[in-house]
Amino acid sequence: MKHIKYILLSAVVLGFTACNDVEDVLEANGVSVETTTLPELNAGDLDFSNYIAVGPSFSAGVSDGTLFLASQENSWPNIMSKEFAKAGGGEFKQPTMDDNFGGLAFGGTRIVGPRLVFNGAGPAPLESVVGPVTVQTDILNNPAGPFNNLGVPGARSFHFVASGYGNVTNVSTGLANPYATRLTGNTPDASIIELAASQNPSFFTLSLFGGNDVLGYATGGADQAEDQITSLATFEGALNVALTALTANGAEGVVSGTPHVTDLPYFTTVPHNPVPLDGDTAAVVNGAYAPYNAGIQGALAALTGTGLFTAEEAEQRTISFEAGQNAVVIIDEDLTDLGAINPAFAALPKLRQATAADLLVLTSASFIGTLADPNNPTSINGVAVPLADKWVVTATELEEIIDATDAMNASVKAAAESFGIAYVDLQAILTQASTGGITFDAYTLDTSLVTGGLVSLDGVHLTARGYAYMANSFLTAIDTHYGSNFVASGNVAKAGDYPTNYSPMLQ
């Protein structure tokens, strides 16, 4: 396939007619034309006749908080399959949703809501803009497989190898994933990996295998009562089972690591100091915290010299507001339990104000500033009422999330080398996007919510253009590892073909 790039060096092109070649018209108008002939596509020995994609929500195509027809069409595996088709790739079948509202129903009862939209000010529920809608995709009426896209939103690594994870009878007990039930068909207890292997893939992708192994913990503010990070041993066991099954019949493939999810706008949009106060209000709040601050100083005086409570921590735990923007007050469970040291200080909670090192989750934006008690105007969440752990990823918790992600990524990379398949470093891509942006054709994509172009309105999943960039990243890895030339031959997704925002009117 030849691709021509036109470089206009002078003049304005006039007089295009249907019977003229573009080159003739340009030259007739005094425009110098430089042509570059790209090489023909060469996939070498790669066989794309039966491409199978396995992974969590990114593979499925989740965008704007849910899955819907348009987002599935623009899932990165589907985008990439279009390039594979140019090199002998076969049909790429997906478990399509019934509409562009998004969401799921179970026997007529809504269990997942419709998508988010931009309402002119920020992300908002679709129904707040267009009015009530009926979620039509019901897991008791699933499409017929088998499917090439086996993306399962919400699945952790060990879920992909678990029997019964797609059995609809297990949904009500929490042992099955509603999206997985749409894939299993007449083998409801088959694992997702068994479904993939049974199709004898000629080529596969296994992406973000550890994504949900850390994401649920992070989005819950690393709350100890919520989802825990999957142990590395469990993760590695599931990874080995998956890759052994997918490569059993000689299939080639690509596996990716997981980026630091805390670089996504779900964690970087809400500042640590979102509370505006005037001087008088700040003085009132400081007065309310005066007994607490005095208690902290009393504890410091009593415990000085013991090494159990330092002046540094006492300063950290002192609450102080002023005129202007103020940091929220948070509960930090990693602070010293003063009551355990001395019962006299048992009434002192583990409070401090957030710092720039703490990450407030996106959903906290609609909670901070509300009243804990509607009848008490002083019970302001984030000010008089500290934010619970679920709203904040502290610096200590952030380190835990990053360390776990890095360990899983190291395992994925080592497994790729062991199985002789390609590897995509998604962490490097997200780091670049979050620290200056990435160039995609004529566009710059970054991780700003709404305006960045890379991440959708939910702050975690990608836009269609972001998924197109992800597809190209996988094609680049395929070229590098297997010697194909998708990128060099120009057989890649084009940024301008994919939107960054879906209209609320899309049905």
Q: What is the CATH number of the domain that holds 470?
A: 3.40.50.1110
Average pLDDT (226-248) is 95
- SS3 label, residue 439: strand
Q: Is residue 119 part of a domain?
A: no
Residue with tokens 């942006």: 437
Residue 102 lies in a domain: no
> Does residue 130 fall inside a structural domain?
no
Q: Are 386 and 290 found together in one domain?
A: yes
In sequence order, what E strands does 238-315 have?
252-256, 275-277
338: in domain: yes
What's the average model confidence in pLDDT over 463-469? 98
Question: What is the DSSP pairing of strand 252-256 with strand 203-206?
Answer: parallel
What single DSSP character describes residue 141? S
Q: 385 and 403, same structural domain?
A: no
Q: pTM higher than 0.85 for the full model? A: yes
How far is it, in rounded angstroms, from Cα 332 to Cα 353? 9
Please check the confidence at residue 5 and state whether its pLDDT lies above 70.
Answer: no
Angle CA(132)–CA(133)–CA(138) in degrees, nearest 5? Answer: 140
pLDDT tens digits, one per residue of 336-370: 999 999 999 999 999 999 999 999 999 999 999 99
Lowest-confidence region among 21-35, 38-52, 110-124, 176-190: 21-35
Residue 253 forms part of a structural domain: yes
The 8 Å CB, 24+ separation contacts for 439-448 are 440/465, 440/468, 440/469, 440/472, 440/495, 441/494, 441/495, 441/496, 442/495, 442/496, 443/495, 443/496, 445/469, 447/263, 447/264, 447/265, 447/268, 448/265
User: Is residue 14 pLDDT above 80, yes or no?
Assistant: no
Return d(Cα 221, Cα 267) in angstroms, integer. Answer: 9
Specify if 259 maps to a domain.
yes
Regarding whether 324 and 223 lie in a shared domain, the answer is no
Question: At 107, is the secondary structure helix, strand, or coil?
Answer: coil
The verdict on 183 and 236 lying in the same domain is yes
Nearest Cα neighbor of 462 from 57, 138, 28 is 57
Whether residue 378 is found in the same domain as residue 473: no
- Paired with 331 in beta bridges are 351
Residues 50-91 have pLDDT tens digits of: 999 999 999 999 999 999 999 999 999 999 999 999 999 999
Q: How far, in Å, are 438, 468, 474, 493 from residue 441 at the CA level?
A: 10, 11, 17, 10
Amino acid 13: pLDDT: 32
Which amino acid, one-letter code, is at 79?
Answer: I
Q: Could you tell me the pLDDT band of residue 31, with boundaries at 50, 70 and 90?
A: low
Q: Are residues 402 and 388 in the same domain?
A: no
For residue 283, the surrounding DSSP H or E stretch is: helix 279-303
Residue 196 CA from chain centroid, whole number: 23
Q: Does some domain include residue 121?
A: no
Stretch among 52-56, 141-145, 222-226, 258-262 having the lowest mean pLDDT: 222-226
Cross-strand pairs, 39: none
User: pLDDT value at position 485?
Assistant: 98
Pair (82, 191) in one structural domain: yes
Residues 6+ apart with CB under 8 A from 264: 430, 447, 455, 459, 460
Residue 236 has pLDDT above 50, yes or no: yes
Mean pLDDT of 273-301: 96
C-alpha of 429 from chain center: 13
Give 419's DSSP letter.
H
In-domain check, residue 375 = yes
Residues 6 or more apart in contact with residue 477 via CB below 8 angstroms = 254, 422, 423, 424
Q: How far apart are CA 198 and CA 193, in angstroms?
A: 8
163 and 280 in a single domain? The answer is no
| Domain boundaries, position 77 | 51-95+147-268+396-497
- Per the structure, the count of domains in the chain is 3
284 and 258 co-located in one domain: no
Is the per-residue pLDDT at 35 higher than 80?
A: no
The pLDDT of residue 32: 62
Q: Is residue 189 located within the same domain as residue 66?
A: yes
Q: Pairing between strand 123-125 and 116-118? A: antiparallel
Cα 263 from Cα 436, distance rounded (Å): 12
Q: Are residues 339 and 286 in the same domain?
A: yes
Neighbours of 193 (CB within 10 A): 22
Alpha-carbon Rg of the chain, whole angstroms? Answer: 27
Both 413 and 485 in one domain: the answer is: yes
